[in-house]
């Protein structure tokens, strides 16, 4: 094999506040060969995700913090260059968690094979991967929108949010999306059929904009964002409303938690269900979720959008852009051209 070296991104230091390029560094190492049960994979695409910000803190959470100087792991797709695992062969496309590296050496049990005939391979990191499953299980298992109910989703122009809104429409709900850009909102309304859209940066006061958009109150609030947006949504919740608590991106860069209005009395008196969830909680039902999402995509009922930036060197920039809303849909980075295609 011509290439003998691997390159990967590591944390140079832990960000305080919003991450910047200086917090990331490229490391080189000799490329090893896989051992029994492993694959050597050439990375084609990597995912950048808001949850990675949590792993940049030295704090106990549901997944371990990234170690300084070690590869930043996360969702990736690549082509198998060498297999020492049963059931995988050279040339296969796989998705796994080796992250921001040019090559991955991975345990075959920790990856899944992708069939490029079924859908573009990038969808395995988006609508037909972790992102789609997050929207699917959060909306259906917790939000459970009913025909005629009102569903509000924050972070609506992002990867998870735009799928949530479309699932809400499939289930017959009236869907209101909140995002930070008119361009995103135009797409949500004109292309995806959202009923109303709100720009949280310009439609102020937000509470009044929400009241206008939700004359019958809110039955499901899919929360991707938290902070001021959630504070404005809570007073409009109807009796027995449900909140799938998916993410709190507006708070991820805070060093100290900020106190908002005390919302628990409102949740109490309206008998609201607030449930935090992690997509991994639904691992046993993953196949079912992917099957239904895939069917909706094939039927044209579920559209997806990917924001693809080119170049390994641009991975940190793509990640940082999540916090200023650069992406419409799923943010990915193309690390290498797939020479087989």
Ligand X SMILES: NC(=O)c1ccc[n+]([C@@H]2O[C@H](COP(=O)([O-])OP(=O)(O)OC[C@H]3O[C@@H](n4cnc5c(N)ncnc54)[C@H](OP(=O)(O)O)[C@@H]3O)[C@@H](O)[C@H]2O)c1
Q: Which is nearer to ligand X, 96 or 247 (CB)?
A: 247
**Residue tagged 């049960």 (tokens):** 37
Is 175 a residue that touches ligand X (CB under 6 A)? no
Q: Does 83 bind ligand X (CB under 6 A)?
A: no
Neighbouring C-beta atoms of residue 8, cutoff 10 Å: 23
Can you tell me which of 34, 99, 129, 157 binds ligand X, judged by CB under 6 A? 157
SS3 at position 147 = coil
Q: How many CB atoms lie under 10 A from the CB of residue 62?
A: 10
Distance CA 206, CA 210 (A): 6
Asked if 132 touches ligand X (CB under 6 A), the answer is: no
Comparison of 34 and 180: residue with beta carbon closer to ligand X: 180
Q: What b/e string do you get for 317-328 counting C-beta neighbours within 10 Å, with b at 16 or more?
A: bbbbbbbebebb
Are the beta carbons of 323 and 299 closer than 8 angstroms? no
Q: Which stretch binds ligand X (CB under 6 A): 11-19, 154-162, 261-269, 308-316?
A: 154-162
Would you count residue 144 as binding ligand X (CB under 6 A)? no
Per CB under 6 A, which region of 29-37, 185-193, 223-231, 264-272 contacts ligand X? 223-231
The count of chain residues that interact with ligand X, using the rule CB under 6 A, is: 31
Beta carbon of residue 148, minimum distance to ligand X (angstroms, whole number): 26
DSSP bridge partners of 154: 178
Distance CA 172, CA 149 (A): 8
Return the residue of 233, 249, 318, 332 that touches ligand X, per CB under 6 A: 249
**Residue 329 C-beta: closest distance to ligand X, Å:** 7
Applying CB under 6 A, the span of 100-108, 142-150, 186-194, 248-256 interacting with ligand X comes to 248-256
Residue 224 CB, nearest approach to ligand X (Å): 4
When asked if residue 277 is in the footprint of ligand X (CB under 6 A), the reply is yes
Match 């100087």 to its residue by tokens: 69
Which of 273, 323, 336, 338 touches ligand X (CB under 6 A)?
Answer: 323
Residues 187-216 that bind ligand X (CB under 6 A): none
* Binding window for ligand X (CB under 6 A); candidates: 95-103, 114-122, 153-161, 287-295: 153-161
Please compute, for residue 169, the number of CA atoms within 13 A of its CA located in the half-sphere on the CB side. Answer: 20
| Position 232 contacts ligand X (CB under 6 A) | no
Asked if 177 is part of the footprint of ligand X (rule: CB under 6 A), the reply reads: no
Q: Which two tokens stand for residue 289?
A: 């979720």
The answer to whether the Cα torsion of 210, 213, 218, 219 is positive or negative is negative
Beta strands in the chain (DSSP E): 5-11, 24-30, 38-47, 76-83, 93-96, 103-107, 112-114, 150-154, 174-179, 196-199, 218-222, 237-245, 273-276, 306-310, 330-334
Segment lying near ligand X (by CB under 6 A), choices 73-81, 143-151, 203-211, 317-325: 317-325
Q: Which of 72, 151, 160, 332 binds ligand X (CB under 6 A)?
A: 160
The window from 37-45, 68-76, 103-111, 321-329 that contacts ligand X (CB under 6 A) reads: 321-329
């Amino acid at each position: 094999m011509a290439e003998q070296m691997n390159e990967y991104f590591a944390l140079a230091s832990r960000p305080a506040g919003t991450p910047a390029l200086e917090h990331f560094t490229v490391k080189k190492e000799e490329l090893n060969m896989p051992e029994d049960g492993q694959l050597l994979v050439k990375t084609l695409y990597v995912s950048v995700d808001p949850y990675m910000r949590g792993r940049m803190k030295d704090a106990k959470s549901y997944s371990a913090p990234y170690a300084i100087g070690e590869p930043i792991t996360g969702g990736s797709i690549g082509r198998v260059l060498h297999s020492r695992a049963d059931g995988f062969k050279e040339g296969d496309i796989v998705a796994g968690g080796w992250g921001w590296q040019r090559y991955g050496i991975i345990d075959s049990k920790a990856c899944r094979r992708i069939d490029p005939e079924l859908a573009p391979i990038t969808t395995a990191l988006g609508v037909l991967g972790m992102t789609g499953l997050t929207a699917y299980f959060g909306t259906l298992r917790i939000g459970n929108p009913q025909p005629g109910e009102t569903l509000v989703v924050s972070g609506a122009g992002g990867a998870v949010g735009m799928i949530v809104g479309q699932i809400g429409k499939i289930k017959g709900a009236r869907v209101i999306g909140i995002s930070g850009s008119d361009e995103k909102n135009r797409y949500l309304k004109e292309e995806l059929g959202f009923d109303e859209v709100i720009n949280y940066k310009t439609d102020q006061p937000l509470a009044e904009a929400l009241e206008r958009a939700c004359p019958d109150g809110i039955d499901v609030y899919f929360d991707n964002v938290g902070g001021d947006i959630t504070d404005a949504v809570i007073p409009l919740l109807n009796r027995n409303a449900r909140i799938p608590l998916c993410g709190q991106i507006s708070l991820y860069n805070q060093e100290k938690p900020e106190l908002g209005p005390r919302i628990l009395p409102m949740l109490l008196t309206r008998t609201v269900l607030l449930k935090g969830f992690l997509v991994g909680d639904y691992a046993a039902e993953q196949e079912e979720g992917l099957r239904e999402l895939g069917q909706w995509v094939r039927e044209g009922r579920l559209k997806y959008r990917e924001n693809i930036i080119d170049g390994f060197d641009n991975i940190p920039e793509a990640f940082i852009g999540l916090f200023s809303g650069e992406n419409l849909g799923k943010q990915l980075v193309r690390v290498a051209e797939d020479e087989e295609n």
